[in-house]
Structure 1
């Protein structure tokens, strides 16, 4: 197994001088050296063929003893120095101080085909940033991260990716419901990959400590390797950098709204500086269309990170990043102007995205009202978002009176729909049919366009839970089946038609299907 190692983070940024792996506050350092924990009996469960190729590795490599040892933390690659990053963050709106990679250890950076990727093990042991935790991960959460990060990539959503999923062979104690009843679960390790795992919190920790020297060093490094097109460090470059981070964050969240993904924990330490979806914890996919839904039990009361509030949270987090970068810029009006563009651009991009979901190419002033009416009627009864938009592509504008029947399979309880609600739907379809008459493309072209942005298959929580239940019994076949299915989320895939279905009733209240905790 040969990788083209090209480490820059550890060579160009200040390291923690303390080499002892104990919990502590780490000052004026971007990272701490740390060695992954050796595991009892590692077993590789699944490897992504695409990510292997992206790293210059072969299928044969993935079956080697060296691959197993390296990507379960049992062996360190020659000439590499694994490390954990130091960062802070706002958690649920409150400054939490130092956080850092508490259960993630970066192995190295690899260059292949002119692309650089950092490789990181999640669940490979404690670090100086583990606080009161053990730095480990369980199979349950690891399956969810492994499958979802790859699924998001194929949906066209900016994301970190996953190379491998492995059992550690260790038992890990977790209180999944936070109710004082911890149980042992199978330990697991995911190797994830990204151009960089830098997040807003990496910059915030130095600003909070007024360590402007290290802050500037890190920002200059980030621009040099990830935003080099912006030019050499200067006030104007820093502003351009913040502007691009703003646009990338907006683009990511627009994609989340398009496919019905809810991150669940948009703390600033979970926000990628590259605009990638990062840290797949208590995420979820909308079943019934609901702006007020959150998958996170910790967020149940205030619903700060609910589906409909994700765009606002993106802006709030960017404001905190602006505050962190301010010492290098000292220009409030320009920073505020950039933040203001987020709001106006989001409204324009959101409208553009919703037009695409409805198959509308022309820009008509009444479209916003049509979309708002649709969102209102979708909330009147539990309607599956993914199935609704996929079926909507079959609507014939010449047969407006059949619209309700076209999408009826998306309703969870069709027998309970009142005549008044049905009338609202019929009125909306009449308006939609009239609007479609303004389009110049054929119905078949519209259907093709709509099916290109409205996925047929997403990783619903109950699907992931079925794979987890099987895996707990030692059966890993469903992991691969879902992995293959989610590679082509927009394709019909008739052989997998059983997954184009509403959430089963049993999943409404089952742990891991309706709400999830951060216990992983």
Structure 2
């Protein structure tokens, strides 16, 4: 197994002078050197061939002892020195101070086909940033991360990737519901891959400590290696950097809303400068279209990170990044101008995205009203978001209202809830929709094809992930493999997998792991 490794981050940015691996405050350093803890009996559960190929590795490499040893933390790859990042952050709107990679260890950077990747293990042991935690992860959360990262990629949502999922052979003590009932679970390690794992919180750490020298070093490094298209100098350089982060963050949120994904923990330390989804904890997909839903038990009361609030939270987080970068710019107005553009930019992109979901290629002023009417109507009775939009693609220009309603009624969780008043509202909206698609030049077949490219048929519903976890706990990985392959083609019909194109079953409505999740992993 051969990797073309680089050590740009550790060679160009200041290191923690101490290599003592105990929880502590780390000053004037971007990272701390730390070695993964060797697992007692590592075994490969699953690996992504495509991600391996992106790093220059082959199918044969995946099956090698070198692969297992390197990506389980059992051996350190030659001429590399693993490290954990230092960063801070706002958690649920509150300043948390120093956080850092508490259970993530960066192995190295890999250059392949002129693309630079950072390779990171999650769950490979403690770091100086672990605080009161042990730095390990369990199989259930690792399966969820491995499956979701790859599912998001194939959906077309910017994301970290997952190279591999490994059992450590060790037991890890966890309190799943934080209710005082801890139990031992199987330990596991995921290998995550991204351009870098630099977060908003990396900049917040140095700004909060008034360590402007390190703040500038980190900003310059980020621009040099990850935003090399920026050619401006001085203050303009940092403004251009912030502008690009703002835009890619906006783009990511629009994609989340398109597929019904809810991150669950949009703390500033979980926001990437690359505009990619990172840190898959208590995430979930909307089953019924409910803008107030959050998958996170910690957020149950205030619902800060609910589906409908994700755009506003992204903007709030960008404000924190702007505050962190302010010492490099020393002028508020240009930063405010970029932030002020987020709202209008998001509304424009959201409207275009929703037009696409409805199969509308021609922009009309009345589309905003049509879309708003639909999102309000979807909430009146429980309506499956994925099934509704996918089936809407089958509606034809000459369909009667009854025929149209018949095509979408599969999305309703309980048809008995559709009383006369609600049916009248659906009749009114569907009349408007059929009138609108008759103003389009696309044929019915063309529109269906167009809609099927943006409305997935298959998403990683929470109960699907839980079923694969339950099986994997017993040593059966067949369902994990099945779901992984299914989610590589989420827009294809895959009629042999039709059973996964279904509403959440009743048993999953309140089951742990299927309705809400904790941050425990």
Q: Which stretch of structure 1 is more off in the superposition, 189-198 or 55-64?
A: 55-64
Counterparts in 2 of 1:232 and 1:371: CA distance versus 1, 3 Å: closer
Quote the offset at 1:6 in angstroms: 1.4
Judge conservation of contact 1:159–1:278 (CA < 8 Å) in 2.
yes
Aligned to 1:334: 334
- Mapping of 1:294-309 within 5 angstroms? 294-309=294-309
- Do the aligned partners of 1:485 and 1:496 also contact (CA within 8 Å) in 2? yes
Partners of 1:207 and 1:146 lie apart in 2 by 33
1:419–1:166 CA distance, 2 compared to 1 (3 A)? same
Q: For 1:506, what is the secondary structure of its paired residue?
A: helix
- In structure 2, C-alpha distance between the alignment counterparts of 1:23 and 1:120, rounded to whole Å: 20
Distance 1:232 1:481 in 2: 48
- Name the residue aligned to 1:484: 485
Q: Over residues 171-222 of structure 1, what are the superposed CA-to-partner deviations in whole Å (9 max), with x where a residue is unaligned?
A: 0000000000000000000001001110000000000000000000000000
Query: Secondary structure of the equivalent of 1:95?
Result: strand
Q: Output the CA distance in 2 between the equivalents of 1:45 and 1:59.
A: 14
Distance in 2, Cα, partners of 1:454 & 1:448? 10
Q: 1:456 aligned to 2:421?
A: no
Quick check: 1:287–1:503 contact (8 Å CA) kept in 2? yes
1:436 corresponds to which residue? Answer: 437
Deviation at 1:418, TM superposition (A): 0.9
The answer to whether 1:35 aligns with 2:42 is: no
* Helix, strand or coil at the partner of 1:15: coil
2:389 corresponds to 1:394 = no
What is the CA deviation profile of residues 339-387 of structure 1, one whole-angstrom value per residue up to 9, with x for unaligned ones?
0100000010000000000000111111000000001110000000000
In the TM superposition, 1:365-514 aligns within 5 A as: 365-401=365-401, 402-514=403-515
Q: Deviations over 1:89-142 (max 9, x none)?
A: 000000000000000000000011111110000000000000000000000000
The corresponding residue for 1:250 is 250
Separation (CA, whole Å) in 1 of partners of 2:431 and 2:135:
56
Question: TM-score when scaled to structure 2?
Answer: 0.99
How many angstroms apart in 2 are the aligned matches of 1:383 and 1:482?
A: 24
- For residues 94-105 of structure 1, what are the structure 2 equivalents within 5 Å? 94-105=94-105
Q: CA deviation at 1:515?
A: 0.2
The 2-side partners of 1:485 and 1:399 are apart by 32
Name the residue aligned to 1:58.
58
Question: Could you tell me how far apart the structure 1 residues matched to 2:233 and 2:214 are?
Answer: 14
Q: Secondary structure at the match of 2:225?
A: helix
Give the equivalent residue in structure 2 for 1:112: 112
Cα displacement (A) at 1:416: 2.3
Asked whether the equivalents of residues 118 and 193 of structure 1 are also in contact (C-alpha less than 8 Å), the reply is yes
Could you tell me how far 1:310 is from its partner in structure 2? 0.1
TM-score (norm 1): 0.99
Structure 2 CA distance for aligned equivalents of residues 52 and 334 of structure 1 = 42
Note if contact 1:292-1:306 (Cα within 8 Å) is conserved in structure 2.
Answer: yes
Query: 1:167 aligned to 2:167?
Result: yes
Where 2:295 maps in the other structure, the secondary structure is coil
Match of 1:234 in 2: 234
2:351 maps to 351
CA distance in 1, matches of 2:336, 2:133: 38
The offset of 1:233, in angstroms, is: 4.3
Distance in 1 between residues matched to 2:308 and 2:362, nearest whole Å? 26
Q: How is 1:55-134 mapped onto 2 (pairs within 5 angstroms)?
A: 55-134=55-134
Contact 1:299 1:305 in 2 (8 A): yes
Could you tell me how far apart the structure 1 residues matched to 2:399 and 2:410 are? 18
Provide the aligned C-alpha RMSD in A: 0.6
Query: Which residue is equivalent to 1:144?
Result: 144
How is 1:19-30 mapped onto 2 (pairs within 5 angstroms)? 19-30=19-30
Q: Shift of residue 417 of structure 1?
A: 1.6
- Mind listing any 5+ residue stretches in structure 1 that lack a counterpart? none
1:412–1:502 CA contact under 8 A, matched in 2: yes
5+ residue gaps in structure 2?
none
Q: Matched residue of 1:447: which SS?
A: helix
- Name the SS of the counterpart of 2:383 in structure 1: coil
Q: Distance in 1 between matches of 2:135 and 2:107?
A: 15
- The alignment of Structure 1 onto Structure 2 pairs a total of residues equal to 520
Deviation at 1:397, TM superposition (A): 2.3
Q: Is the 8 A contact 1:14 1:29 kept in 2?
A: yes
Indicate if the aligned counterparts of 1:197 and 1:272 stay in contact, CA closer than 8 A. yes
Deviation at 1:400, TM superposition (A): 3.5
C-alpha distance after superposition, 1:290-346 (max 9, x if no partner):
110000000000000000000000000000000000000011111000001000000
Give, in whole Å, the separation in 2 of the partners of 1:511 and 1:487: 26
CA shift at 1:232, angstroms? 5.3
1:398 counterpart SS class: coil
